[in-house]
Amino acid sequence: MTDHAFMRLESARGCIQHCTYCFYTQHYKSVKYFSLPYVEKILEFARDNGAQQISFTDPNFNDRSDFSQVLQIMERFNDENSFQVFVECDADRITDPIAQRMKKAGIQATEIGLQTTNETARKTIKRAGNLKKFLRGIRALQSAGIEPVIDIMLGLPHDTVEDFKKTASFILIINSRITFSYSL
């Protein structure tokens, strides 16, 4: 592998949420979590093959009940800061101590799905979550030095141009990077 070698890994398949527009909702009825020894094995493989940047493809990297042990394994593999890790997380579940541990485990940035702040649209697409907890999670990540990259979606049912402006203002207050997608 070359310098800055990049590797994609997977520690879970499927998602605990059920957003109506999502591929995972339609194709996976439950979540399959790969075992801790498996996670250990793929990290070992990544390290031994010179990976410097790792991206986990799991849709909600922090939703597993043994997430604390996953972080512990990652910390052990990353004790010399040899990996930069990128993940996708549920911000509502992130507190200050969790964010600090994520940073220690090598996580540099996390994609976070918000889609919209409009509660009617969120209910319609079955997007669970709580904006207060979401904000707490974003602040915890930022304080720990992890960059949150927030996904928002244009064209959701019941989301008007005014609603979209409100979502955009909310993210400006948070001061985060955004990625957009468009709902057909």
Q: How far is the CB of 109 from ligand SF4 (least distance, A)?
A: 17
Q: Could you say which of 9, 10, 13, 25 contacts ligand SF4 (CB under 6 A)?
A: 25
Neighbours of 29 (CB within 10 A): 8
User: Which of these ranges, 3-11, 14-22, 64-72, 169-177, lies near ligand SF4 under the rule CB under 6 A?
Assistant: 14-22
CB proximity list for 147: less than 8 A, separation 6 or greater: 108, 109, 110, 141, 176, 177
- Decide if residue 15 touches ligand SF4 (CB under 6 A): yes
d(CA 81, CA 73): 13
Q: How far is the CB of 180 from ligand SF4 (least distance, A)?
A: 14
Q: Which of 178, 176, 169 is nearest to 142 (CA)?
A: 176
DSSP symbol at 29:
S
Q: Could you say which of 9, 10, 13, 24 contacts ligand SF4 (CB under 6 A)?
A: 24
Q: Rule CB under 6 A: which residues touch ligand SF4?
A: 15, 17-19, 22, 24-25, 59, 113
